[in-house]
Amino acid sequence: MSVTKEITILALTKMHGGVCTAGIDAESAWVRPVRPHAAQKPQFEAVTDYCLLPLDFFHGGCSHLVNLGVTRFTFTAPAPQPPHTEDWTMDLARKPQLIRKLTSEEQEQFLAEHVEEGLPLLDDNCRRSLALIKPDSFSFSFGMNKSGDDVSVRASFAVGDVQIGDVGCTDLRMRALGRKMLEQSGGEKRSLNDDDFRQRGKQRTYLSVGLSRPFQGKHWLILVGVHSTPELAVEIDFAKL
């Protein structure tokens, strides 16, 4: 039995050899599409078991995953693994289809309707792994990764009484933006904060936050989506995530 859902994409991120995506469906529930395992339960679970490959969502000459676009997915079944209770297994025989991109007005309305107070992931006892928040302040730092061949993006933000410092940001647009900034600076570290966003005409900024797959015995808080109004005009090169 298959289930079809139309999901508004709020996370489009790098995940090792592929992409992780997630968004909110018509019932206002978070959904994270994942590939089916070769076996019902892998013998050695790894984060790469969950990423989508370009062949899953790139067809007809374009990506069918777009930030704040509505994509129709076909799933075989829910696949919750707390705290990743939002996981649904994709039907790989039916590729996702981009239905449309939200207009600027629709983006503002959608983000305002689905934002949550505070940082709920820290209070939900591993019952979920995704949330949309509106930070009181934020900053991003861009530098070369440890191997020196690509960008590393780190983020800090405050929401209410909660201060979060130096967490990983895997958002593909921020990675593309950081790569461009480092090229302009000759590889010297660069940064952006909420004042920089406002000076560039961004009236509001929302963050999609998530919990990672188990790593070193822990689910780490990560930043998986950055959404400003007006929207960030950054092009993603899927050949270089």
pLDDT score for 41: 47
Query: What are 174-223's pLDDT values in tens digits?
Result: 999 999 999 999 999 999 999 999 999 999 999 999 999 888 888 999 99
**Contact, 75 vs 89, CB < 8 A?**
yes
- Identify each DSSP E strand in the chain by its residue range: 3-15, 18-24, 30-34, 58-59, 62-63, 69-78, 87-90, 97-101, 130-133, 137-144, 151-159, 162-168, 190-193, 204-211, 221-229
pLDDT score for 214: 85
Count of beta carbons in the 10 Å neighbourhood of residue 188: 11
pLDDT score for 1: 74
| Of 100, 92, 223, nearest in space to 165 by CA | 223
pLDDT score for 129: 95
**Contact, 168 vs 125, CB < 8 A?**
no
pLDDT score for 43: 41
Q: Are strands 130-133 and 58-59 parallel, antiparallel or unpaired?
A: unpaired
Which of residues 41 and 173 earns the better pLDDT score?
A: 173
pLDDT score for 131: 97
Across 140-149, b (16+ Cβ under 10 Å) vs e yields bbbbbeeeee
> How many angstroms separate the CA atoms of 206 and 135, rounded?
7
Query: What are 44-63's pLDDT values in tens digits?
Result: 444 455 789 888 998 999 99
